[in-house]
Structure 1
Amino acid sequence: MVKWSYADPKMAEQSERVLQMLLHHGYEAYWVGGCVRDELIGRPVHDMDLTTSALPEQMVELFEHTVPTGISHGTITVLLHGYAFEVTTFRIDGTYENHRRPEEVTFVKSVVEDLRRRDFTMNAIARDTRGRYLDPFAGQQDVERGIIRCVGDPEERFEEDALRMVRCIRFASVFDYRVMHNTWKGLLNKRDKLSFVAMERIRVELEKVIAGAHPLKGLELLGRSKLLTYAKAAVDCSRFNRMLVRHMDRIPSVEVHLRWTLLLYSGHFSVAEAEQCLRNWTFTKQDKEQICDILKLDEEIKELINILEANDIGNPDLMKKQRVQWMSLVLKFGIVTAKRWIELHTLISQDEGHEVNEWMKLCSRWNTEMNAFHLKELDITGREVMALSGRAAGPWLGQMLNHLLLQVAVGVISNHKESLIREVERVDNNHG
């Protein structure tokens, strides 16, 4: 059995069973693409794609459980003991439609011809069941040198599939590789073809850049190439403030929403602009809200409590007022958004003055002093409040519950039913 250092052993075992089945019936078969590349680089292997001389209909007959994932292009998904493997027949591609997908493919018997159609040399390496590498385009050497190089003529590769240009920058960013001169030149010459690619496809690649280990490198390459000015939802990367964006590498990759917020913040995007931009880039509603809520909180903070004004620190009366205002904003936007806002401004505080960092420490302390964050934590229900007030449900009920939550959060009243009842009665008596 072939040893894989960076793949799940059970996944590797089942993928090899698929290869052995194909070999046993007289077909050629190899691991190919990303799994081979990542094993050579030393990165975790998340899936294992295979290539074979067997035709799609022959694979369907051979394996009990298959899915015709892309049967017209020779791809069958083989399901085996809980694992799914995409197996593609050796092929060469015909004319590409709209600089994205081949209109037709021709099945061939040579694995080298199949590897020749691939995008970059590091993705054009196959591995057999003896562990040997088939590497006709020196992809291993390029991995060792840390370079991105197209298979064959770069302009042809980018003309065929324009998304490869964004993938080129993504690979260079994530792997911290260099783009070879001819490949970069081909990218610049064909970048106008990116207008044919759906924004959803581009956005997926950009998300991987921003979530990767070296997002700043990816952004610099996007800026130098001006590639995104040719996208359907064009953006000028020169708008982003490099002095602020340079902090992105310090944000953990799991905080990808905060990385996106920093990017938009550095470009001085208003909330409306940011929402439109993310909508154009086909972000999900949930992702858009998580990113833009930090910008919304930022706008409200600057409008309500001037949190960035250094002279305010040390004024007891003002501190008391702003403590309440801060806590009300935490209740409105949520503690997660508040913490992300603090993290954002803590990062950039070195560019805006020491006092800003002092404000962040103060806001963090106020967070720890809050006694409640959600209405469900209150020791009283909406139904009980309606019974006390003798009124039917309406806008007043939400206002009353939010008032109670804020009073509990800041410590004016305790979160006990008796205290909450007294506050409801006090408000009713004073305001009706």
Structure 2
Amino acid sequence: MTNSQEFTKAAPIIHTLNEAGYEAYFVGGAVRDLLLDLPIHDVDIATSAYPAEVQALFPRHFDVGLDHGTIMVWFEGETYEITTFRTESTYQDYRRPDKVTFVQNLEEDLLRRDFTINALAMNPDHKIVDYFHGQKDLADQVIRAVGNPNDRFNEDGLRMMRGVRFASQLDFQIEPETLVAIAENAGILVHIAVERIAVEMNKLWIGVNWHKGLDYFLETDLIQYVPYLADYKAVFTDLLGYTSDQVQIPNESFAWALFFWRAFERNGKEDLAAIQQQVRQFTKTWKMSNKAQKDILAYLDILIYRAQAAEWTLVDLYGRERDQLVLVEGFIEAQQAAGQEGFKAVFKQPKVQAVQDLFDQLPIQSLRDLAINGQDIIQEINPENKRAIGQMLQFLEQAVVAQDVVNDRAALLAYLDTHHDQINEI
């Protein structure tokens, strides 16, 4: 589906509101991304209709943000947020307004939005409503706050992180007055939930110009007010100097692994356990999922190994994820191709194809692939110490991966018989 079709599909919602006598427009990021020819993620609608009037027109709805005038409507297999035009006044926690007032004026509604490029509205005929010169800022590739930037950032402190994230995501410059306001109001970030900051930071990492986003993040001193990261400014600076801005980061877990790898390198590569504990503490502080922590540690392990070893072996590959290995090797290759001397010095020849070829040679992918199991050992050997069964399986697993014995039931049992004295050394 093309970008334009996303709006065509939702147009009947606006027609229904118009026919009932209400104004209605597509608004926000979807309009911005249409004008930039970027993928559309969420099509949102703003209207002069009050929430109860929206509910009456669209029986299939969910009241997701009724206090703020938002109704989620189910239409043609998709959900759309429809929000009543509103103004907001005084903010209790740099996020939530103390008072929301429904209005009948689109311009008043757009005035409360963060940046001019997000304060655009459009009707189903693709006529753009632009009160704050957002189209010019899109053309000039500029991020500019709507109205007074100090007001916007005091309304919601996360907007400052959104600004540096958009700089990365869109490769735009932040307009000078807006940039100064971010620096002056950076301390507001201490009031913002770390989960919200994490969303923006992760989007910054994977932007088309993540260097630019990080530069702004450091220049404005936002880093000083973000949980856990205040003491790591030198690591970010090191990372920027060590990498090319021409190479995008494939995912946020790898980004954090890259960051902690540079911290490890700067610390003299002395304490692997310590850097792993830092990752665990960071992911706990940032309330990341167990999977995110696991992925960061896995990527970090690959980077550290790759920086210290010239060649991969079957034993080294075993137990690691193929996709993660290929991703790391691909990033190394891209950085070297971009002329990054640090990557050339630390990581020898990139081995994308070699890793894939070697991975295909692994005789087993996990212990489950072993040609015998615990029951076989009980049946054939019946060791007095049942705890030895696990040791035997681990011993055979290592031997098969190292290609010291073929993965065959009879061969494995024979190998156990002739090498039983080595098992206690595991």
What TM bracket, shorter-length normalisation?
0.7 to 0.9
- Aligned equivalents of 1:190 and 1:295: distance in 2? 34
Distance 1:184 1:355, change over 3 A: closer
- Aligned equivalents of 1:248 and 1:374: distance in 2? 36
Asked if structure 2 preserves the Cα contact closer than 8 Å seen for 1:222 and 1:237, the reply is no
Partner of 2:272 in structure 1? none
Deviation of 1:249 after TM superposition, in Å, equals: 4.5
Partner of 2:159 in structure 1? 164
- SS at structure 1 position matched to 2:318: helix
Distance 1:413 1:252, change over 3 A: farther
Write the mapping of 1:274-285 to structure 2, written as runs, cut at 5 A: 274-285=279-290
- Alignment-mate amino acid for residue 403 of structure 1: F
- SS at structure 2 position matched to 1:95: strand
- Aligned equivalents of 2:168 and 2:422: distance in 1? 62
- Aligned equivalents of 2:385 and 2:11: distance in 1? 64
- Aligned equivalents of 2:354 and 2:315: distance in 1? 12
The answer on 1:145 being equivalent to 2:140 is yes
Deviation of 1:332 after TM superposition, in Å, equals: 4.1
Unaligned runs of 5+ in 2: 268-274
- Alignment-mate amino acid for residue 202 of structure 1: I
Q: Deviations over 1:342-373 (max 9, x none)?
A: 55666578426658415968983754543222
Asked if structure 1 preserves the Cα contact closer than 8 Å seen for 2:18 and 2:24, the reply is yes
- Alignment-mate amino acid for residue 390 of structure 1: N
Partner of 2:410 in structure 1? 418
Asked if structure 2 preserves the Cα contact closer than 8 Å seen for 1:226 and 1:237, the reply is no
Partner of 2:40 in structure 1? 45
- Alignment-mate amino acid for residue 138 of structure 1: H
- Alignment-mate amino acid for residue 289 of structure 2: T
Partner of 1:187 in structure 2? 182
- Aligned equivalents of 2:346 and 2:301: distance in 1? 22
Partner of 2:374 in structure 1? 382
- Alignment-mate amino acid for residue 130 of structure 2: D
Asked if structure 1 preserves the Cα contact closer than 8 Å seen for 2:30 and 2:40, the reply is yes
Q: Count the aligned residue pairs.
A: 409
Deviation of 1:295 after TM superposition, in Å, equals: 2.7
Deviation of 1:337 after TM superposition, in Å, equals: 4.6
Deviates more, 1:137-146 or 1:244-253: 244-253
- Aligned equivalents of 2:75 and 2:211: distance in 1? 40
- SS at structure 2 position matched to 1:182: helix
Asked if structure 1 preserves the Cα contact closer than 8 Å seen for 2:261 and 2:303, the reply is no
Partner of 2:348 in structure 1? 357
TM-score by length of 1: 0.86
Deviates more, 1:156-165 or 1:391-400: 391-400
Partner of 2:317 in structure 1? 330
Q: Deviations over 1:226-253 (max 9, x none)?
A: 1021124443452225454453646554
Deviation of 1:212 after TM superposition, in Å, equals: 1.6
- SS at structure 2 position matched to 1:238: helix
- SS at structure 2 position matched to 1:370: coil
Q: Deviations over 1:33-82 (max 9, x none)?
A: 01111111111111100000000011111112000010000000010121
Match of 1:217 among 206, 212, 220: 212
The answer on 1:289 being equivalent to 2:289 is no
Identity %: 28
- SS at structure 2 position matched to 1:240: helix
- Aligned equivalents of 2:327 and 2:362: distance in 1? 17
Q: Deviations over 1:161-201 (max 9, x none)?
A: 00000000001111011111110111111111110000000
Distance 1:381 1:197, change over 3 A: same
Asked if structure 1 preserves the Cα contact closer than 8 Å seen for 2:31 and 2:120, the reply is yes
Distance 1:395 1:339, change over 3 A: farther
- Aligned equivalents of 1:225 and 1:216: distance in 2? 14
Partner of 1:206 in structure 2? 201
- Aligned equivalents of 2:262 and 2:224: distance in 1? 18
Q: CA RMSD in A?
A: 2.8
Asked if structure 2 preserves the Cα contact closer than 8 Å seen for 1:14 and 1:83, the reply is no
Q: Deviations over 1:393-427 (max 9, x none)?
A: 95433332222222222221112222122123334
Write the mapping of 1:4-403 to structure 2, written as runs, cut at 5 A: 6-7=3-4, 9=5, 11-240=6-235, 242=237, 244-245=239-240, 246-247=242-243, 249=245, 253-268=249-264, 270-296=275-301, 307=309, 326-340=313-327, 342=329, 347=335, 350-351=341-342, 356-358=347-349, 364=355, 367-391=359-383, 394-403=386-395
- Aligned equivalents of 2:394 and 2:167: distance in 1? 49
Asked if structure 2 preserves the Cα contact closer than 8 Å seen for 1:126 and 1:134, the reply is yes
Deviates more, 1:80-89 or 1:371-380: 371-380
- Alignment-mate amino acid for residue 292 of structure 1: L
Distance 1:149 1:252, change over 3 A: closer
Distance 1:399 1:137, change over 3 A: same
Asked if structure 2 preserves the Cα contact closer than 8 Å seen for 1:335 and 1:373, the reply is no
Deviates more, 1:55-64 or 1:412-421: 412-421
- Aligned equivalents of 2:393 and 2:406: distance in 1? 14
TM-score by length of 2: 0.87
Distance 1:338 1:425, change over 3 A: farther
